[in-house]
Structure 1
Amino acid sequence: MSEREWIEELLKINDEDLQLSEKQSKIIEAAIEVFSEKGFAAASTNEIAKKAGVAEGTIFRHYKTKKELLFSIVTPTLVKVVAPFFAKGFVREVFTNEHQSYEDFLRLLITNRLDFVKKHFPIIKIFLQEIPFHDELKEQYRQVFTENVYHKFTSIVQHFQEKGEIIDFPSDTVIRITMTNIIGYLITRFLVLPEKDWDDAQEIENTIHFLMHGLSPK
C-alpha cells in the first residue's frame, strides 16, 4: 500500500470520507512526512509547503503558527481518525476473540501491533515523538485507551488469573507490565535500532516467554 493509499484509508470513518480538498490532503501528507522525518521542533512550514506543492502562504491562511499546523492538521488526523481507527480495529481483531491461553492472546496482541506500526509508521512516529511534550495528546490518547481497550483488557487478565495461568497481581499491574514490554519492543525495533536485522518472529516469542516466565532460568 502506498503512502497516499494508507492516508486515504485512515481518512475514512464509518465508510464516510472526511471532506478535504486535494490541497488539504497534500498538506496533511506533507506535514506527516516532514514531522515524522525531522520532528516538530526541526520541521519548517516552508518545507511542508514545498513538499505539498503549495505556497507557504496557503498554509498560513488557515494556520497562524507551526504549532497550530500540528494541532489543526496532524493532531486531528492522528487523534480523531487514527486513534479511533486503531482502537476499534484493535479491539475487534484482538479482544473479541476467544483465546485458549494468555500466551495466545499475547502473540496476537504483539503481532497485531507490529503489523499496525509497520503499516502506519510515519504517523505513529509523530505520535511517539510529540506525546511527551503535549498534554492534549496525552489526554486524548488516554481517553481512547480507556474507552475502547482498558475494560476488555482487564476482563482478559482476570479470566486467565481465574484459570491460574498468570500471577494474581492487580489487573492494572499486569496490563502495565504487558504493555511496557510490548511498547518497549516496538520503540526499540522502529526508533532506537531500526537498522538492526530483526527476527520479528523470534523477538515476539522471546517477549512472550519473558512476560510469562520472567528472567528466571527455572
Structure 2
Amino acid sequence: MSDHDLKIDELIDGEDLTEKQRKIIISAIESFAEKGFSATSTSEIAKKAGVAEGTIFRHYKTKKDLLLAIVAPMMAKFVAPFFIKDLKKVLDQDYENVEDFLRAMLENRREFLIKNLATVKILVQEIPFHPELKDLFKEHIALKVYALFEKLVEHYQEKDQIIQIPAYSVFRMIFSSIFGYLIARYMIMPEADWDDEAETERTIQFIMHGLAGPNSSKK
C-alpha cells in the first residue's frame, strides 16, 4: 500500500463501513481528485474498486451521495480538527510582528496542503458547484477559523501593525493571497519551475504593503 493509500485509509478509519464500501470510498477519492466529480463515472469507480456498479448504488443512492459520504467525514473528522489544531499552533504563538505570523501561517498551510493534497483538491474543485459542500465548509472550517483569526487581527491592530479595517477584510486579503499562491503552486501549475523561497517572500510582502500599520516595521 502506498503512502497515498495510507492517508486515504486514515481518513475513513473508524467509519462503519464494509470492505466493499471502503474500496468504493478510496476509489472515489482517487478518481474525484484526479478527474473531478462531473467527469468521473460510477462505472469507473466500480472498476477501480473491483466491485459491480450496482454495488455502489446499493450503498449510495446517487453519485452526489457518494461525494457527500467522502466529504462529510473528511470535514468533521479529519480536515477540520487538524486544520483548527494546526492553525492554533500558529495563532497561539506570540509573534511580535505580523510579518513573522504571516510567514509561519504560510509554511503551516503549505505543510497541510502537501500532506492532504487529494482531499483538499476535491474540496477546491467541487465546493463552487455543490451548496451542500459550502454549508459543510462553513460549519466545520470557515466560522471556527474566523473566530480565532479575528482575535489575532485585533491584537495586531492594537499594536498599530495592521491598519484599522474590519477583520473580515483582513481575513479575505490574507487568505486569498496565501491560498491563491498555494493552490497555483501545488494544484494548478505544480510542474512550473517554482522558487518557493522567493514566492513566499513576495506573497508576504504583497500582503504587508496592503495591510501595514504605522508600527508594522518596528522590531
Report the TM range for the smaller structure's normalisation: 0.7 to 0.9
Which residue in the other structure is 1:176 paired with? 172
* More displaced 10-residue stretch of structure 1: 153-162 or 90-99: 90-99
Which residue in the other structure is 1:37 paired with? 34
Which residue in the other structure is 1:185 paired with? 181
- Pairing 1:65–2:62 present: yes
Kept after mapping to 1: 8 A contact 2:33/2:122: yes
- Pairing 1:213–2:214 present: no
Which residue in the other structure is 2:96 paired with? 100
> Percent of aligned pairs with the same residue?
47
* More displaced 10-residue stretch of structure 1: 114-123 or 75-84: 75-84
Kept after mapping to 1: 8 A contact 2:12/2:22: no
Q: Distance in 2 between matches of 1:112 and 1:86?
A: 11
**Cα RMSD between the aligned structures?**
1.8
| Equivalent position amino acid for 2:55 in 1 | T
The alpha carbon displacement at 1:147 in A equals 4.2
| Equivalent position amino acid for 2:6 in 1 | E
Q: Distance in 2 between matches of 1:85 and 1:11?
A: 15
After TM superposition, the runs of 4+ consecutive aligned structure 1 residues lying more than 4 A away are: none
Aligned ranges 1:16-55 → 2 under 5 Å: 17-55=14-52
Kept after mapping to 1: 8 A contact 2:90/2:101: yes
Residues 80-121 of structure 1: per-residue CA shift (max 9 Å, x gap): 233323333233322222222111111111111111111111
The count of corresponding residues between Structure 1 and Structure 2 is 209
- Pairing 1:158–2:159 present: no
| Equivalent position amino acid for 1:157 in 2 | V
| Equivalent position amino acid for 1:52 in 2 | A
Q: Distance in 1 between matches of 2:137 and 2:47?
A: 31
The unaligned stretches of length 5 or more in structure 2 are: 211-219
Kept after mapping to 1: 8 A contact 2:84/2:144: yes
The unaligned stretches of length 5 or more in structure 1 are: none
